[in-house]
Amino acid sequence: MFKKNETVIGKLLFPSAVASIFIVLILTLFILYERLPIFTEYSLNGFLLGHQWYPEIIVGTFYVTLGALLMGVPLGLGCAILLAEFIPPRLSRLIRPGIELLAAIPSVVYGFWGLMVIAPFVRTYLVGPGYNILTGAIILAIMMLPTIIIISENSFRAVPGKFKEGSLALGANHWQTIKEITLPTTKSSIIAAVVLGMGRAVGETMAVIMVVGHVKAMPGAIIGPVRLLTTNVLASERISFQMDYGTVVILLITITFINAIANLIIHKMTSRV
């Protein structure tokens, strides 16, 4: 009976899977086709490193994303461990809806909050105008938290109880059990959570365009203004629509590369189990 139901569900979900692949393929071909004119005018090296393309945009995107990861990943994992392992289940059920609500808040709200709260704070207590890499990284780190927390917490709760009981029976304390049993067991899920959070950080536009300064300059410090790949598409002084499509292509390649590396890591980890 169960096998028959699984077969029916599989047949129902198959068209959705095919449609998803088809949509991604169509979008990719469209973007690449629209970008072909810029290939005839600039070589790939000239497009990425030439004077008109400004490689500072790629470097700025890397810095802001890296800063968001350095802040968001430890906070997200720490919060997930707290919810899954330390606080009472009833309190955890009360906190979880608030975390899920953070994922539903529009990005422009985060940007406005960063503009009115985070940027003045950075400007007051640090050197600089407040619209810089640090402010953008803080906003993106906060936006990443719901994804990392929810997926990681569910993974921690899915660890079989006998694993933890065996560790405790051997004399390990609670934290040692988390470090040596829970975290290694859920490594693949944690990586997936981080990749999903990073995908949102790399692809975010409205929140960061309000707080990073939107200046074409090679970032020299975390308090320096930058322009990102996503915000460059919305730049008022755009070179051409082909350049915009070129920016989208770079974003597409970046996200594809990140997902490929994450899948490779997950595959290696699961093959060792």
> Is this structure's pTM higher than 0.85?
no
* DSSP state string for 223-260: TS-B--HHHHHT-TT-S-HHHHHHHHHHHHHHHHHHHH
Mean pLDDT of 49-73: 77
Question: Is residue 231 pLDDT above 80, yes or no?
Answer: no
**What number of other Cβ atoms are within 10 A of residue 208's Cβ?**
29
Give the pLDDT confidence score for residue 76 in this predicted structure.
Answer: 92
> Under a CB-based contact definition with an 8 Å cutoff, are residues 242 and 34 in contact?
yes
Mean pLDDT of 10-36: 75
Could you tell me the pLDDT band of residue 46, with boundaries at 50, 70 and 90? low
**What number of other Cβ atoms are within 10 A of residue 206's Cβ?**
16
- The tens digit of pLDDT for each residue in 80-107 reads 999 888 888 888 888 888 888 888 888 8
Could you tell me the pLDDT band of residue 78, with boundaries at 50, 70 and 90? very high
Q: What percent of the chain has pLDDT over 90?
A: 6
Give the pLDDT confidence score for residue 230 in this predicted structure.
Answer: 76
What is the distance in angstroms between the CA of the first residue and the CA of the last residue of the chain? 31
Distance (Å, rounded) from C-alpha 170 to C-alpha 172? Answer: 6
Q: What percent of the chain has pLDDT over 70?
A: 79
Could you tell me the pLDDT band of residue 168, with boundaries at 50, 70 and 90? confident
> Under a CB-based contact definition with an 8 Å cutoff, are residues 38 and 31 in contact?
no
Question: Is residue 265 pLDDT above 60, yes or no?
Answer: yes
Q: How many helices (H) and strands (E) does the chain have?
A: 14, 0
